[in-house]
Amino acid sequence: MPARIVVVHDDEHFTRTLTTALRSAGHDVAAFQDPLLAHDPIETAQRVEVLITRVEFPPGRSNGLSLARMTRSKRPGLKVLFVALPEYLPQIEGLGAFLPLTTPVENVLATVERMLTESELLTEQPEWR
């Protein structure tokens, strides 16, 4: 999986719209609906620079927090963007950037573009939250 960006989100409309926008902008993208199904491909990939996920998945599935932590342990430079409900913001502290689930896809795309061009992780730049 040579994707530069990995989207792990179970909202099919959001995922489809975002992956289409990212591909239209020229990015390699891989998408998964389940964090457990995404873990191995992400771990064995040659290059992954940005992970876009949500915090909480339906019962019986792992969550985006665990995925981000596990992936970051092997890829310390990975940038993580959580697109989730606002009540989860305190839980992602120190793990990545946050955008509310209601954010338009164009804003998510713009944030990803900044993440790819900036040398510092967004967790160190609170003005982007």
The answer to whether the beta carbons of residues 38 and 7 sit under 8 Å apart is no
Average pLDDT over residues 51-80: 87
Dump pLDDT digits (tens) for 8-25.
998 899 999 999 999 999
**Regarding beta strands 50-53 and 97-100, do their DSSP bridges make them parallel or antiparallel, or are they unpaired?**
unpaired
**Degrees to nearest 5, angle at CA 29 with 28 and 35:** 150
Domains defined along the chain, listed by start:
5-103 (3.40.50.2300)
Query: What does the block give as tokens for 83?
Result: 């697109």
How many angstroms separate the CA atoms of 64 and 106, rounded?
22
Dump pLDDT digits (tens) for 29-42.
999 998 888 888 88
- The burial of 57, by beta-carbon neighbours within 10 Å (0-12 exposed, 13-18 middle, 19 or more buried), is given as buried
DSSP letter for 49, please.
-
What's the pTM value of the predicted model, to 2 decimals?
Answer: 0.85
